[in-house]
Structure 1
Amino acid sequence: MSLVKFKRRRPFSNLISQDFFDVDNFFDNRGWGQDILPDGFWNGNVSEPALNIKESNDKFEIELAAPGFAKKDFEVTIDDGCLNITAERSTSEEEKDENFTRREFSYNSFERSLQLPKSVKQEAIEASYKDGILSFNLEKKKEAKKLPPKKVPIV
C-alpha cells in the first residue's frame, strides 16, 4: 500500500510518481515566472483542499479535506476518464435594528480534477462525506489486481 502526497513545487512529479494525473495543477507553479506579481491569486497560489491517495491490491482510496461543507454542496462527476469534484457554499446573515443594518456573507468554492488510471472500474466508484473528509473508494479491475505468487511444480 502506498500513500502519495501532492508536492506542488516539484515539476512533473505527478506524472512520474503516481497513477493519478492532477489535471488542475499540471501547469501551475512549475517554476515559470514565480513571484513576479506580489498577489498570491495571480501567482496561482489559490487555496485548494489537501488530497491523499492510498493504493492497495484491490482498490484506491482517496481522501479530500473539505471541512465546513455539507453533502449537498458537492458535485462529483466522471467525464472521459476524469474524476471531477466541485464544491460551492455560501452563507449570508442580516440583522436590522433602528440605528444600523449589519450584513455578513461568505462564499467558498473549489474544483479538483483527477485523471483516473485505466485500472479503475469507473462504474463502481463510491463516495462518502463525514467529519469534513470527502472519501472515495475506487475498485480496481480484476486484471489490474496483483495475483499472489504461484508455485510452479517441476516435473
Structure 2
Amino acid sequence: MNLIRRNWNNSSLPNLFDDFFNRELFNWGNNNYSSTSTTVPSVNIKENGEAYEVQVAAPGMEKNDFEVKLDGNLLTISSKKQDSSETTEENFTRREFSYQSFQRSFELPRDVVDQDNINAKYENGLLMLTIPKKEAVKQRPPRLIEIS
C-alpha cells in the first residue's frame, strides 16, 4: 500500500470553493434554467415520415394555461400561470403568490408542413403537438420498379 500525502495549501481547494459560491444557484450545467433562475420546459422534437412530433414537459399545468400560435412559419408555445392566496388570522395576514411563464418559438420548414392540420393536446404533464407534413414531401414506402 502506498500512502499519498496531500498538500491542502495548494491552489485547488480555494478554486473549488470559489467555483461553488460563484455559480448561479440553479444553473449548474442544466440548460433548463435561465440566468434569472426561471425554468424553461424541456422540448423533444421527433420527425417521422408523416409528421413532426413536439413534446413539451410541463407538469402541474393545465391545458388552459397554454397558448400555441402559428404566425407564418413561426410556431410559438407559451404559458402563463398565476396563483395567489391570502390567510387572515387574529394577529397576522399572510399573502402568497406565484407567477410562472415561458415562451418557446420554432421556425417550421417552409413548404414542408401542413399548417392547417396541426393538432395539440395536453395529457399527464406533457403538451404534445403533431405537425403533419404535406403529401408531396411525405416519405413513401419503397416500391419495386419492374424492368421491361
Give the structure-1-normalised TM-score.
Answer: 0.70
Q: Distance in 2 between matches of 1:100 and 1:57?
A: 61
Q: Distance in 2 between matches of 1:93 and 1:151?
A: 67
Call closer, same or farther: CA 1:99–1:43 in 2, change over 3 Å. closer
Instruction: Tell me the secondary structure at the aligned position of residue 113 of structure 1.
Output: strand
Pick aligned residue for 2:135 from 124, 142, 151: 142
Q: Distance in 1 between matches of 2:38 and 2:83?
A: 21
Moved more, 53-62 or 133-142: 53-62
Q: Distance in 2 between matches of 1:43 and 1:75?
A: 24
Name 2:17's counterpart in structure 1: none
Letter paired with 1:82? L
Name 2:68's counterpart in structure 1: 76
Give the structure-2-normalised TM-score.
Answer: 0.73
Instruction: List aligned pairs for 1:110-125, cutoff 5 A.
Output: 110-118=102-110, 119-125=112-118
Pick aligned residue for 1:53 from 45, 52, 59: 45
Call closer, same or farther: CA 1:42–1:116 in 2, change over 3 Å. closer
Paired positions, count: 119
- Tell me: higher relative CO, structure 1 or 2? Use CA pairs within 8 A at least 6 residues apart: 1
Unpaired segments of 5 or more residues in structure 2?
Answer: 1-21, 28-32
Over 6 Å off, 4+ runs = none
Identical-pair percentage: 41
State whether structure 2 residue 79 is matched by structure 1 residue 87: yes
Moved more, 87-96 or 140-149: 140-149
